[in-house]
Structure 1
């Protein structure tokens, strides 16, 4: 392995590897030398890699593997967070059965056609005989984070999965909001989503964790561009000014750190889900990472101890699975920024190291039929083999 490239072989047979090599071909070559010949690769990579070179290198180095992946806004590895580089999760043929499909033109998604494709994929996963018990199956979604289509995609997929739990993340590009890219089937895709269905001999459990609780401060969306996720007015006032006044900040100085520290949430089914702000626009409107409709009531949220809430969730999963072998995780980039601003990122990294968390920082997280923000979602894989 090259300098700075690390790998870990897990009890379930999955190999994880990561590198911060600056050159795409070097990064792939170093990891290929480490992990052998997997059946399925899931990859997360920096947007500053030339994607054509990276895709070509992956295809050449892993000619017999199915490859799916996306750009990231930072990587997660058992050694800690990565500012840039390549993160690879290599699934073996033994112990895992995986099928995948690409959904294209997701900003104009045909819901019926998508549902039919998902059902066909399910039949491919278990063409004969009974399916594995529900605790041994999950669905993984990777979605273009700039297509503004996650809600439609996730609801269509979840509808057709018929109980298979879904989790995933939206591709990012280091908060530049210029170009998010997916890889599937040896090709480069935009305005698309990838769905993988996984059946495992090992117990699995999906999860979500956040560290915010609602306050009494409310905002009503009084003017918005729903399709573009832009809110022009909150409480009949310019959105950025009203938000800044409520959190005690100068409207001219709002930044990603501000939005990470003071997220907004919407109440659905008695539970609050974060709806994070992407950026402020020159006209004092606010662009969001999630769909926001006119008339929606948003609640200002306040932070809880992010390390304590994450530790509690990972400990719960560890107990439920009889020991965690590996966690494939998707963390909102704003959650990472908030942890850094509160100087607790080391505590989060220590937990990720302890529980073998690998994944990427996202522009949004998927959990069952929901698209979320400022959340940590993922799949925990247990150590016990099914009888």
Structure 2
């Protein structure tokens, strides 16, 4: 039987280690720790690895940490699970220069299958500031075949300077961690965002890395303001006075089948371009999307509902959640409400996770790849055997 413990604290000391140990009642097999840049990630992972030497321990820096009880900064959130699972993991650096090699190195030595454990789910943590978040996710998927992936990009409290991921007692920037969880019963994966199309289709006609310079042959910032002007006026949003708040409300959507994959615009650039959180290629066709706080709360619940549906009615022991920092900025004081609603949708199960610079989700034909402003839920069923 699977059991999870989810806590958030200012550090990983003896008190936190005892809470995890006594709460689980058995040695964990998998532990994920997500630490504010103000908390020493190496010390946190080392403490967990030393106390639980048989567990696979992974982690990252964040832009906010949370559990089902609430969220905050300058803390560390921890998810630990005990049960009948087999877990392996690998880490590699060099993501910026050679993403394919980094992914292959992280997967090197991991088993393709484990007898008696027919289900495999992979958890991916990476440094999105190295670039190639989308490419890395697709490379992992291509290497593993039809295997669900979840994960997130490390944060640094919006400083956008340096982020870290870790495995065991080792941490690194420009890196990727891939953990493989083999289980007797399928784990539940859910992914959802709260955006709906506002504009018609627009083509990216000029782009440089993460900057979209032109849309339909015109300066991107001009097109964005033009397409949203009426709605922005209704909402009292001034793109010139508060470009950050304006862009959070009107993000980009890339069509994936009947759904949309969200890309977060961050700021206008001199010359009329728009800086995005991840690269957007020339030739991409997108639509400007809109979302409000109510839709963001509802979408988080929808992600939890999808994860629960994937475990075929089993009770949920706990969940690992990856949630974009942009959602926290949109929701403000309602963010805790969304977390509590996710837990409630999972039958009151505990959860832990962090606010990311991007989310990874690939699950049996759902929206695939690297996302922004999206909630990803990985639910562990109570009966893992």
Classify the TM-score, shorter chain. 0.7 to 0.9
Give the superposition deviation at 1:316.
4.6
Residue number in structure 1 paired with 2:220: 239
Per the alignment, in what secondary structure is the counterpart of residue 199 of structure 2? strand
Distance 1:239 1:327, change over 3 A: same
CA distance in 1, matches of 2:45, 2:178: 19
Residue number in structure 2 paired with 1:109: 98
Larger CA deviation: 325-334 vs 281-290? 281-290
Residue number in structure 1 paired with 2:118: 133
Distance 1:205 1:60, change over 3 A: closer
CA distance in 1, matches of 2:139, 2:102: 9
Distance 1:87 1:117, change over 3 A: closer
CA distance in 2, matches of 1:317, 1:188: 30
Alignment of 1:212 onto 2:195: yes
Question: When the two structures are superposed, what TM-score results if normalisation uses the length of structure 2?
Answer: 0.84
Per the alignment, in what secondary structure is the counterpart of residue 217 of structure 1? coil
Q: Which of 326, 342, 359 is the aligned partner of 2:353? A: 359
CA distance in 2, matches of 1:306, 1:330: 14
Distance 1:241 1:110, change over 3 A: closer
Residue number in structure 2 paired with 1:28: 13
CA deviation vs aligned residue, 1:178-223 (integer Å, no higher than 9, x gap): 1111122322201011000001244411110111121333332222
Per the alignment, in what secondary structure is the counterpart of residue 330 of structure 2? helix
Distance 1:91 1:315, change over 3 A: closer
* 1:247-326 matched pairs, under 5 angstroms: 247-248=228-229, 249-303=237-291, 305-319=295-309, 320-326=312-318
Distance 1:279 1:180, change over 3 A: farther
Residue number in structure 1 paired with 2:24: none
CA distance in 1, matches of 2:373, 2:128: 14
Give the superposition deviation at 1:254.
4.1
Structure 1: 5+ residue stretches without partners: 1-10
1:111/1:156 contact within 8 Å kept: yes
CA distance in 1, matches of 2:128, 2:105: 24
Distance 1:359 1:113, change over 3 A: closer
Give the superposition deviation at 1:166.
0.7
CA deviation vs aligned residue, 1:345-372 (integer Å, no higher than 9, x gap): 3431321342323111111111125111
CA distance in 2, matches of 1:39, 1:385: 12
Residue number in structure 2 paired with 1:349: 339
Give the superposition deviation at 1:144.
0.5
Give the root-mean-square deviation of aligned CA atoms.
Answer: 2.6
Give the superposition deviation at 1:110.
5.4
